[in-house]
Amino acid sequence: MPALIFDVDGTLAETEKDGHRIAFNRAFAASGVDWRWSVALYGELLKVTGGKERLAHYLDRYQPDFCPKQGVEAFIAALHAAKTAHYAEVVNGGALQPRSGVERLLKAARSADWPLALSTTTTCSNIDALLAAGFGGVSADWFRVIAAGDMVANKKPAPDIYNLACHGLGTKAEQCLAIEDSRNGLLSANGAGIATVITVSEYTADEDFSEAALVLSSLGDRDEPAVILNNPGGLPPFERFGLDQVTQILN
């Protein structure tokens, strides 16, 4: 029985530019620092996964003389906690909805009793906020395993989070398929021995996905058919990525 393991940010929904980035900027303003992450700068910073790690990278690279009285580590922890609270406000009320084809594929897998999991660098509280706010018809309890954030020491592109998800499902890696949006996610899933389908997102269209089993514009729906961007396995043409395509990739 195949299992599908979904990434969250950029894959379930376009949460980065209009979600996390806004939350970071609101947290900066509330903490009294005059930093603002533009769409372009955030795209560069996104190469570092994990909000706390991204913040540390930003301080090193752009604010080397910043010396908060409580120390940098404590500042980052407090700022990130505030950002997470702002993120819940930003996504509240269903501001961000599932990407094309996500709900359709999840429902098809559930109808076939295929196990589902999430494997993400973000936090469980951000997942709860995103899914609780009326995220299409998707519910957090559809996912047998939610592998997230600090549950592992090494975040994507390390394979730890996908190993955790796969182990939690009790499914062999070769029977799992990862749905991702970024190179960091691709390297993480492949590092765990899991084949990966990429649905490029707002920030990742130009990344290198040469190791992916398939690269798509999205999973596709009636109103937004999937565009096949790279098909190294030679799958027959389709407009909506479904269970047939999963089994073609895994078999």
9 is catalytic: yes
Binding mask 166-205 for Mg ion (x = CB under 5 A): ---------------xx-----------------------
The rounded distance, in Å, linking the Cα atoms of 102 and 180 is 11
- Plot region of 211 (φ>0 → left; ψ -120 to 50 → alpha; else → beta): alpha
Size, binding site for ligand XBP by CB under 6 A: 18
Residues 138-177 close enough to bind ligand XBP by CB under 6 A: 149, 156
- Three-state DSSP string of 170-226: CCCHHHEEEEECCHHHHHHHHHCCCEEEEECCCCCCCCCCCCCCEEECCCCECCECC
Euclidean distance between CA atoms 111 and 101, whole angstroms: 15
- Sole binder of ligand XBP in the list 5, 45, 49, 173 (CB under 6 A): 49
Query: Is residue 19 within the footprint of Mg ion (CB under 5 A)?
Result: no
Binding to ligand XBP in span 8-37, by CB under 6 A: 8-10, 16, 20
CB-based contacts of 204, cutoff 8 Å, min separation 6: 10, 181, 182, 183, 198
State yes or no: is 113 an active-site residue.
Answer: no
Q: For ligand XBP, what does the binding mask look like between residues 96 and 125, x meaning CB under 6 A? A: ------------------------xxxx--
C-beta closer to ligand XBP: residue 147 or 169: 147
Amino acid identity of residue 53, one-letter, is E
Of 13 and 79, the one with the shorter C-beta distance to Mg ion is 13
For 97-116, b/e burial (b = at least 16 CB within 10 A) is bbbbbbbbbbebbeeeebbb
Choosing from 7, 160, 181, 221, the catalytic residue is 7
The values of phi and psi at residue 222, to 5°, are -55, -45
Give the type of residue at 101.
G
Cβ distance to ligand XBP smaller for residue 123 or 218? 123
Query: Does 201 participate in binding ligand XBP (rule CB under 6 A)?
Result: no
User: Could you say whether residue 7 binds Mg ion (CB under 5 A)?
Assistant: yes
Question: Nearest 5°: phi and psi at 116?
Answer: -125, 145
Give the residues lining the site for ligand XBP (CB under 6 A).
7-10, 16, 20, 49-51, 120-123, 126, 149, 156, 182, 185
Give the residues lining the site for Mg ion (CB under 5 A).
7, 9-10, 181-182
**What are the residue numbers of the active site?**
7, 9
